[in-house]
Structure 1
Amino acid sequence: MAPVILVTFAGRQKRMGVLTHYIRRALELGIIDQWHIWDFTRSPEDHAWVTEEFGPVRFMGAKAPYQAAGTVSRLGSFRTSVGITNDLHIGVLPQNDPDNFYEFVIGGWNNQASALRKISRDNLLHAERKDVTNSWSRITPGILSPGAENSVVISMNANGGVELLVNDIVVGEWGDLDLGESASVMIRGGWGGDLELCDTNASIQRYIGNPNEQMPYWQAYQYYAKRLPQFADALFLKCDDDIVYLDIEKLSDFINFRRRNPHYFVVSANVVNNGVCAYLQQQAGQLPEAILGEFEHPPGGFGGTLWQSGERALKLHEYFLQSDRKNVPLRAPVIEWNERQSINFIAWLGRDILHMALAQGDDERVMTVDLPAYLGRPCAIYSDFIVSHLSFGPQERGFDFDPLVDKYDVLMREKLGL
């Protein structure tokens, strides 16, 4: 069976904690096979949480900072397999020297040379190396192959000397490089060289985008589009990091519907706190206007009074939480939708990433309006799979959603038996 891959653009710890329990259970049950966490965090605290909570790094944008990758000692070498075109950077941090680290630059200068530097650890998280002198350098033309998984080994001999091998070629040996008994190893790309760690195969993997980009999500779509042969047979789910309820008992049905109906471009879950879904839920008699007010058809499928109002969103969430039946069925099992909609929880087929080399910009519009129109394929909303989406940005102005997260946490623990 083709793998099911969930993609989440992370991540805010308070918002994402509830979702994490649901997805880990789905992994345990074999409903999904992989969870790809794309780290687009904006605060150091959230980045630290994502780094600690989730699996090993699989991919790093060229501007991403160093990430922990392993150790090297007299008893064991550091080994990795990487996909990168140029400028592989490896930081070696000796335990016996807390003030400095060694940096190997492999395939720098347009993949034509390599170098070794000793640098103050204060510079570890800074990519620029303008005022640093190379202690060793060598012409290494074409040392990194863009068409292969490049093998890299750093080892220590019995006397503490260090050896670097790339693709089974000895690049350099340093008898006077003192790493003590062991050293931590960190890794990153640089100067246009995105880095893929090809030996990372955990069920939960981290993907680190370039930091501080506006509307950064195109990086994820581009990643998959460039690897179409690898992912063409997969089925993709994508969910927001603030999904706080997920009907895990109906997730398999949603996946099976998506797989069996390839004529749809995108299929959405039936989402609580989603302008289009709220309109359809009310049209089906599920959301009483006398209690919640009118949920109008958002103009063109975008915006609307619910999207703008934290007060209305909080009232809708409270109504859903207080309902004994966590279901808001639509007037039909499937509703075709040809306007824009919020992509809080959607599914697409792996073969359709042929069309997903998105430019930087509004991925939601491209995925639900532009591409479906170009391809002549409708989108749909699947009624029987319910998720709850915490909030949109405009809803958070002046309103505190944290108490709601706590209530959804209680519901999650009840549903999962935690």
Structure 2
Amino acid sequence: MIDGKRVIAWTPYGRTRTYSLLIKYLQRDVERGLIDEVWAFMNTDPVGQEADIAYAHELAERYPWFHVKHRPEGVDLGNLPKQRYTGLAYREMTDPDTVYLRFDDDVVYVHESAVENLVRARIQMPAPVAVFPIIFNNAICSYFLQACQKIPIEWGEVKPYCMDPNGWASGPFAVKLHELLLSHIEAGTVEDLYLHHDFQLAPGTQFSVSCFASLGSMYAGLDQPGILVPDEEESWHTIHRPLATSVPNVVRADSVVSHFSFFTQHPFLNQTNLLDRYRELADKAVA
């Protein structure tokens, strides 16, 4: 718990390759008393992902705080890609005394102060739909980092657009970002990458939702508790709901995580040793 609120970290789960890093950081923060439960919302294919499914169940058997969650029965969304099913997870997030932390399954680094700072910010600012950390390898966060002179403009200017050609689509830019963050992690100077202040996102600004904090009380207060309309979670949290409430979402200045890759960057990142370097750090988190 943090400031009297339960904290549940959850993930639209699918890839052991990267989730095996994230779980180390979540385990660290469970053991520190910051996270109460960890949920894996299964977003897997029954054929072709047998090893990924088995890994999630192994974690559930090993840790009493880890829980496997499944899509609700009786909900037909047609022949949509599995990424569209993640919005169904919020039907289980209606406890008004809980802060929910969403992590993509390829978040590969969580700074030691990130969860506590993000949750406290979430509690102190109940009005926004979502409060985001500084997400390395997120286009709009890269725009803010450039505005604060934390990453060089010479790498390619990033505009405040979630699918910016440099901040979202460029593999070489992502490699430089990860190398910069890793150098700070290894030197123990991640705090030097904090933003000068929190940044607001104008209502209607689409933002890649690789990690954010939200309130169970918000989902409990919907006309149908926990049911997002529209049900696509990124659009609901960053476009539709902020426009309906006229409240900006917030990027918190003192909370850092790393999102490994957008599909546009895979060919470049997969040729590097960056994931191996992140894995070495994750192993040390629970050593």
**What band does the TM-score fall into relative to the shorter chain?**
0.7 to 0.9
- Offset at residue 397 of structure 1 (A): 4.2
- Offset at residue 252 of structure 1 (A): 1.2
Deviations 1:169-207 (A, max 9, x none): xxxxxxxxxxxxxxxxxxxxxxxxxxxxxxxx9421100
- Offset at residue 249 of structure 1 (A): 2.8
Give distance in 1, aligned partners of 2:272 and 2:24.
17
Give distance in 1, aligned partners of 2:238 and 2:253.
18
Deviations 1:320-371 (A, max 9, x none): 2123322422231x11112111111100111100334125753112101110
Asked whether the equivalents of residues 19 and 243 of structure 1 are also in contact (C-alpha less than 8 Å), the reply is yes
Q: Out of 181, 187, 196, which is 1:331 matched to?
A: 196
Structure 1: 5+ residue stretches without partners: 57-200
Q: Out of 23, 27, 41, which is 2:26 matched to?
A: 23
- Offset at residue 253 of structure 1 (A): 2.1
Asked whether the equivalents of residues 307 and 394 of structure 1 are also in contact (C-alpha less than 8 Å), the reply is yes
Give distance in 1, aligned partners of 2:15 and 2:100.
22
Which position in structure 1 is the counterpart of 2:71?
A: 209
Give distance in 1, aligned partners of 2:190 and 2:98.
30
User: Would you tell me which structure has more strand in proportion to its own residues?
Assistant: 1
Asked whether the equivalents of residues 88 and 231 of structure 2 are also in contact (C-alpha less than 8 Å), the reply is no
- Offset at residue 217 of structure 1 (A): 0.6
Give distance in 1, aligned partners of 2:270 and 2:72.
30
Structure 2: 5+ residue stretches without partners: 74-78
Give distance in 2, aligned partners of 1:16 and 1:267.
22
Asked whether the equivalents of residues 25 and 286 of structure 2 are also in contact (C-alpha less than 8 Å), the reply is no
**Following superposition, which runs of at least 4 residues in structure 1 exceed 4 angstroms of deviation?**
210-213
Q: Out of 147, 153, 170, which is 1:289 matched to?
A: 153
Asked whether the equivalents of residues 18 and 108 of structure 2 are also in contact (C-alpha less than 8 Å), the reply is yes
Which position in structure 2 is the counterpart of 1:220?
A: 89
| TM-score normalized with structure 1 length | 0.59
Matched-pair identity in % = 25
Number of aligned residue pairs: give it. 264
Secondary structure of the corresponding residue to residue 174 of structure 2: helix
Which position in structure 1 is the counterpart of 2:8?
A: 5
- Offset at residue 210 of structure 1 (A): 7.0
Asked whether the equivalents of residues 140 and 167 of structure 2 are also in contact (C-alpha less than 8 Å), the reply is no
Which position in structure 1 is the counterpart of 2:107?
A: 243
CA separation of 1:317/1:204 partners in 2, compared to 1, >3 Å: closer, same or farther? same
Give distance in 2, aligned partners of 1:223 and 1:210.
9
Which position in structure 2 is the counterpart of 1:278?
A: 142
Deviations 1:97-127 (A, max 9, x none): xxxxxxxxxxxxxxxxxxxxxxxxxxxxxxx
Task: Say whether 1:313 aligns with 2:174.
Answer: yes
Pairs within 5 Å for 1:12-411: 12-42=15-45, 43-55=49-61, 202-209=64-71, 214=81, 215-224=84-93, 228=94, 231-290=95-154, 292-298=155-161, 301-323=162-184, 324=187, 325-327=189-191, 328-332=193-197, 334-338=198-202, 339-353=205-219, 354-355=221-222, 356-359=226-229, 362-397=232-267, 399-400=269-270, 403-411=273-281
Amino acid in structure 2 at the alignment position of 1:9: P
RMSD of Structure 2 on Structure 1 (CA): 2.3
CA separation of 1:40/1:281 partners in 2, compared to 1, >3 Å: closer, same or farther? same
Asked whether the equivalents of residues 302 and 340 of structure 1 are also in contact (C-alpha less than 8 Å), the reply is no
Asked whether the equivalents of residues 281 and 287 of structure 1 are also in contact (C-alpha less than 8 Å), the reply is yes
Secondary structure of the corresponding residue to residue 205 of structure 1: strand
Asked whether the equivalents of residues 218 and 359 of structure 1 are also in contact (C-alpha less than 8 Å), the reply is no
Asked whether the equivalents of residues 8 and 38 of structure 1 are also in contact (C-alpha less than 8 Å), the reply is yes
Asked whether the equivalents of residues 217 and 360 of structure 1 are also in contact (C-alpha less than 8 Å), the reply is no
Secondary structure of the corresponding residue to residue 113 of structure 2: helix
Higher relative contact order (CA 8 A, sep 6+): 2
Amino acid in structure 2 at the alignment position of 1:310: G
Asked whether the equivalents of residues 133 and 255 of structure 2 are also in contact (C-alpha less than 8 Å), the reply is yes
CA separation of 1:368/1:55 partners in 2, compared to 1, >3 Å: closer, same or farther? farther
Asked whether the equivalents of residues 132 and 251 of structure 2 are also in contact (C-alpha less than 8 Å), the reply is yes
User: Would you tell me which structure has more helix in proportion to its own residues?
Assistant: 2
- Offset at residue 413 of structure 1 (A): 3.4
CA separation of 1:15/1:331 partners in 2, compared to 1, >3 Å: closer, same or farther? same
Q: Which has the larger radius of gyration?
A: 1
CA separation of 1:37/1:321 partners in 2, compared to 1, >3 Å: closer, same or farther? same
Secondary structure of the corresponding residue to residue 273 of structure 2: helix
| TM-score normalized with structure 2 length | 0.84
CA separation of 1:357/1:303 partners in 2, compared to 1, >3 Å: closer, same or farther? farther
Give distance in 1, aligned partners of 2:250 and 2:218.
16
Amino acid in structure 1 at the alignment position of 2:217: R
Asked whether the equivalents of residues 27 and 286 of structure 2 are also in contact (C-alpha less than 8 Å), the reply is no
Secondary structure of the corresponding residue to residue 176 of structure 2: helix
Give distance in 2, aligned partners of 1:30 and 1:402.
35
Amino acid in structure 1 at the alignment position of 2:88: Q
Secondary structure of the corresponding residue to residue 276 of structure 2: helix
